[in-house]
Amino acid sequence: MAGVAAFDEMGREGEPARALYRKVARWLEETPAELLASRRAQAEYMFRRIGITFGVYGDKDAAERLIPFDIVPRLISRAEWRKLEAGLTQRVKALNMFLTDVYGARRILNESIIPPELILRNPFYRPEMIGRRAPHDIWAHIAGIDIVRVDDESFYVLEDNARTPSGVSYMLENREVTMRLLPDLFARHSVAPVDDYPDELLACLRSVAPRQDRSEATIVVLTPGLYNSAYYEHSFLADKLGVELVEGRDLFVEDDQVFMRTTLGPRRVDVIYRRVDDDFLDPLVFNPQSVLGVPGLIGAYLAGNVTIANAVGTGVADDKAIYSYVPDLIRFYLSEEPLLKNVPTYRCREPDGLKYVLERLDQLVVKEVNGSGGYGMLVGPHATQAQREQFAAKIKADPANYIAQPTLALSTCPASFDKGVAPRHVDLRPFVLSGADSVRIVPGGLTRVALKEGSLVVNSSQGGGTKDTWIVDDIEDED
Amino acid sequence: MLARTADNLFWLARAMERADYIARTIEATLRLEYLPKTEGEKTGEWEGALNAAGAYDSFIEAHGDLDEENAVEYLTFDRSNPSSICNCLENARTAGRAVRTALTAETWTAINDAWLELKRFEASHRFSRPMDRVALTRFLDYVKKASLDFDGSCYRTMLRNDAYWFNRLGIFIERADNTARLLDVKYHLLLPSTEQIGGSLDYFQWVAILRAVSAATAYHWVYRDRVKPWLIADLLILKRAMPRSLISCYESIDRALDSLARDDGRSGLAQRHARAMHARLERASMTQIFQGGLHEFITAFIEDNARLSSTISEQYLFT
């Protein structure tokens, strides 16, 4: 996808910086390269020392790696943020209503808004939950919505992560590190704080507790354990929330109630913020081989004695096939126009879509609806004529299995390297908390950055890094 | 607190304490090795050191031949020795990661820094074996400092709640065990009759014992006398002022268990057992201990101490 002219959030080289970034641009200009280098080294040292690492499965010695951190902050103006915030709130509300509907009345299927097989044959659909309502109709208590920007005006949602989205610890730690390393630059901006995220999360989890007296509710974070790649985040969150970090073996179920084993004997648990996938939660109901889960947990949940966040079955809303329908879901459930755009998606199951896609195979990315990790995919602009013809035949044979999207030019931001400052592609993952009482979004999120030149892949497993994200008051011209 | 957390805190503290003790034992043994010896004078110092570290049998099984290089390697970097310094620090960090939420940032940083440094030592050790004496000294200094940092950060930054008391229990039960093992290995040197038969080598053996528990200076402050073996035994068993003495460890164990019982409102077998051991030490005199047999006294103590450890595990559901 090289060659696509990307929008640079600071402004293109040779042009004056956008107003929002003026102070950052001046700071980058004025700061000697050696100082930037020493800040980079300090940042790495701080991360290693605190032990913010992510693990790699099955690789004992290389087991702990650092996700690279780029010291140049990524800026978003308050006005832009307010729009994002409204759009995110709307989107997550619709997703929660969709989940209530899918496991309940199925209006969405009955009224043919979504083809039934997309749900009923979805690998994350949980028939065990049919006819069940999540407490307060909240399923996705914590959602991470991936957003990309393509120009001055437009933000697109790239993905909805509604199962166990991770990365929020980086949002918080990145801020700590920037505040310590770049205090002057930080002070020159009016940056919205993010450090109330743990309190907001706690309030959110408390609001969905099954007990009457919610202030007494016992909340825990459930982790698969030390060797999970996101273990650092699990322990970080438990610590900031001031709640126990438990593993499956610390919990047991008796009379449909969940208890944890403490030094003072069993203690009742009311809310489980789980970072374990559905499949491993309860060997009695799901994967019987699982040792990460708690036998009887789902029974306790169905009896209404414990709240699981995110709820079991939420994965159906976090799926490529469903993604393209989210704007329709918003119209259907909220009778509102979507505030945040989806990346335009053409569904080959629909005759118009199929025609459009087949005519423009050289411009589009075509994906299998249930494929992942880049398999079964055609990148039109990079493919040969023969490959495109071959793929066209596959699409025609089974149109329902394919969707297509235009190639997007993700915006870039300046990043600091040994050889100097250079633009790199970024995305943004804000975290949306849905409680019984309200939707909460801390102003900010995790900015992921593709550190390899020209790369659009921001995933940490493929050379991606992170940046601190500043939501700043709109800058008035000072000079 | 989660039972698993308590378990990890307890063993984490034991591992850090043990690493320190093994480092000191190696140091003291090296000093003995430096002493001029007459022909045919074999001191069996490394055998003693391995015994004091509870690693003699497994060492012989793994290596057969006993020499300084093998013994030092076994006690420091050898991963096949469960009590090697390396394994102690590695286990401490694994336990620490599992209970990060129960540790203060300072305590975690102390553990993690120690581990990061360990990785550097291991990496350079891989390229230059055996370790020369200078590098070894630097390594042992680092281990002692790591343990000090850990202990100090716990003491200075942890809330005085159950997490702290389980940490203290780990430290003092391990320390009592270490001191007792050292006494057990060297008891024959400490009997009152030894003064007559001992040559100058014995004198340095005694001093080495003191060094292993960082008490060489303390001895002189307490007794204001030249080193006499039975006074060493007195210092390490019954002197309350000596932080590694058995009685001092039990004073701390007793206090930690009492604090737990007070906070929980529940007292059990562990509290009774510790109180009884503490009381026995308070009533004891060296004369009486020597009469009953120093060896017998120490062996019984090691067993009682281990029993307390498992009683704590049972009472607080680790097992």
* Helix (H/G/I), strand (E/B), else coil: A221: strand
Structural domain ending residue among the three candidates B134, B158, B182 = B158
**Burial, B68: exposed, middle or buried (Cβ in 10 Å; 0-12, 13-18, 19+)?**
middle
Confirm whether A413 is domain-assigned: no
Report d(CA B98, CA B100) in Å as an integer. Answer: 6
Give A1's pLDDT tier (boundaries 50, 70, 90).
very low
Confirm whether A58 is domain-assigned: no
* pLDDT of B195: 47
Interchain CB contact of B317 with A (< 8 Å): yes
The two tokens of residue B64 are: 């057969």
pLDDT by residue (tens digit) across A153-191?
Answer: 889 998 899 999 999 999 999 999 999 999 999 999 999
* pLDDT of A64: 64
Report d(CA A246, CA A220) in Å as an integer. Answer: 7
Interface of A with B in 263-292 (CB under 8 A): 263-265
pLDDT at A404 over 60: yes
Residues in A touching B98 (Cβ below 8 Å): 225-226
Yes or no, beta carbons of A49 and B113 under 8 Å apart: yes
Section B127-140 average pLDDT: 86
- Do B150 and B177 lie in one domain? The reply is no
- Do B207 and B123 lie in one domain? The reply is no
DSSP A311: P
Report d(CA B260, CA B100) in Å as an integer. Answer: 21
The single-letter code of the amino acid at A431 is F
- Do B43 and B27 lie in one domain? The reply is yes
Contact B108, A51 (CB under 8 A): yes
pLDDT by residue (tens digit) across A283-338?
Answer: 998 888 888 899 999 999 999 999 999 999 999 998 877 899 999 999 999 999 99
Range of the domain at A384: 344-406
Report d(CA B116, CA B121) in Å as an integer. Answer: 9
Report d(CA A204, CA A302) in Å as an integer. Answer: 20
Q: In what order do the strands lie in the sheet with A257-262?
A: A251-254, A257-262, A265-268
Contact A194, A431 (CB under 8 A): no
The two tokens of residue B242 are: 């000596």
The single-letter code of the amino acid at A170 is Y
Confirm whether A438 is domain-assigned: no
- Do B149 and B19 lie in one domain? The reply is yes
Interchain CB contact of A262 with B (< 8 Å): yes
Residue B255, min C-alpha distance to chain A (Å): 18
Contact A450, A414 (CB under 8 A): no
For residue A381, give the CATH number of its domain: 3.30.1490.270
Q: What percent of chain B has pLDDT over 90?
A: 60
In terms of pLDDT, which residue wins out, A339 or B228? A339
| Number of domains making up chain B | 2
* Helix (H/G/I), strand (E/B), else coil: A145: strand
Report d(CA A184, CA A142) in Å as an integer. Answer: 33
- Do B53 and B167 lie in one domain? The reply is no
Contact A347, A403 (CB under 8 A): yes
* pLDDT of A56: 43
Which of B1, B97, B105 faces A262 most closely, judged by CB atoms?
B1
Q: How far apart are the first and last CA of chain A?
A: 40
* Helix (H/G/I), strand (E/B), else coil: B49: helix
**Calculated CA dihedral for residues B64, B67, B72, B77, nearest 10 degrees:** -40
Confirm whether A371 is domain-assigned: yes
- Do B127 and B3 lie in one domain? The reply is yes
Report d(CA A391, CA A383) in Å as an integer. Answer: 10
Neighbours of A98 (CB within 10 A): 27
Confirm whether A172 is domain-assigned: no
Section A469-474 average pLDDT: 91
Residues in B touching A51 (Cβ below 8 Å): 97, 100, 108, 112
User: A426: Cβ–Cβ under 8 A, 6 or more apart, which residues?
Assistant: A9, A74, A149, A410, A411, A412, A413, A447, A448, A449, A450, A458, A467
| Number of domains making up chain A | 1
* pLDDT of A228: 86
Report d(CA A139, CA A133) in Å as an integer. Answer: 9
Report d(CA A109, CA A102) in Å as an integer. Answer: 8
* pLDDT of B197: 46
Chain A interface, mutation test: which of B97, B101, B166, B257, most A Cβ atoms within 10 Å?
B101
pLDDT by residue (tens digit) across A205-235?
Answer: 999 999 777 778 999 999 999 888 888 899 9
The two tokens of residue A297 are: 């947990």
Report d(CA B16, CA A186) in Å as an integer. Answer: 40
| Cα atoms in the Cβ-side hemisphere of radius 13 Å centred on B248 | 15
Residue B161, min C-alpha distance to chain A (Å): 12
- What's the whole-number average pLDDT of chain A? 89
pLDDT at B202 over 80: no
The single-letter code of the amino acid at A308 is I
Interface of B with A in 144-183 (CB under 8 A): 162
* pLDDT of A52: 66
Yes or no, beta carbons of A226 and B97 under 8 Å apart: yes
Confirm whether A386 is domain-assigned: yes
Query: A472 φ, ψ to 5°?
Result: -115, 150
CA distances from A383 to A3, A345, A377, A400 (A): 15, 20, 11, 22
Place of tokens 């820094």: B113
Phi-psi region of A406 (alpha: psi -120 to 50; beta: other; left: phi over 0): beta
Residue A154, min C-alpha distance to chain B (Å): 41
Confirm whether A367 is domain-assigned: yes
Structural domain ending residue among the three candidates B158, B186, B219 = B158
B229-238 vs B246-264: helix axis angle to the nearest 10? 0
List residues bridging with A307 in a β-sheet: A271
Chain B interface, mutation test: which of A233, A240, A252, A263, most B Cβ atoms within 10 Å?
A263
* pLDDT of A57: 42
B85-98 vs B133-157: helix axis angle to the nearest 10? 30
Report d(CA A173, CA A239) in Å as an integer. Answer: 13
* pLDDT of B42: 60
- Do B3 and B147 lie in one domain? The reply is yes
Give A3's pLDDT tier (boundaries 50, 70, 90).
very low
pLDDT by residue (tens digit) across B153-175?
Answer: 999 999 999 999 999 999 999 99
- CA-nearest residue of chain A to B100? A235
- Do B178 and B71 lie in one domain? The reply is no
Section A425-442 average pLDDT: 95
pLDDT by residue (tens digit) across B232-253?
Answer: 999 999 999 999 999 999 999 9
- What's the whole-number average pLDDT of chain B? 89
**Calculated CA dihedral for residues A245, A251, A257, A263, nearest 10 degrees:** -80
Interchain CB contact of A59 with B (< 8 Å): no
- CA-nearest residue of chain A to B312? A263
User: A242: Cβ–Cβ under 8 A, 6 or more apart, which residues?
Assistant: A202
- Do B205 and B140 lie in one domain? The reply is no
The two tokens of residue A208 are: 């969905």
Q: What does B235-285 look like in DSSP terms, one character per residue?
A: HHHH-TTSTTSHHHHHHHHHHHHHHHHHHHT---HHHHHHHHHHHHHHH--
Query: A9 φ, ψ to 5°?
Result: -70, -20
CA angle, A187 as apex, A184 and A188 as ends, to 5°?
Answer: 90
Give A62's pLDDT tier (boundaries 50, 70, 90).
very low
- Do B147 and B30 lie in one domain? The reply is yes
- Do B117 and B80 lie in one domain? The reply is yes
Confirm whether A374 is domain-assigned: yes
Range of the domain at B64: 1-158
Section B102-123 average pLDDT: 92
User: A38: Cβ–Cβ under 8 A, 6 or more apart, which residues?
Assistant: none
- Do B123 and B183 lie in one domain? The reply is no
pLDDT by residue (tens digit) across A361-382?
Answer: 988 988 887 655 456 678 788 7
DSSP B104: -
Report d(CA A251, CA A271) in Å as an integer. Answer: 12
* pLDDT of B41: 58
Structural domain ending residue among the three candidates B136, B158, B180 = B158
pLDDT at B203 over 90: no
pLDDT by residue (tens digit) across A76-124?
Answer: 999 999 999 999 999 999 999 999 999 999 999 999 999 898 898 888 8
pLDDT at B37 over 80: no
Report d(CA B163, CA B95) in Å as an integer. Answer: 13
pLDDT at B71 over 70: yes
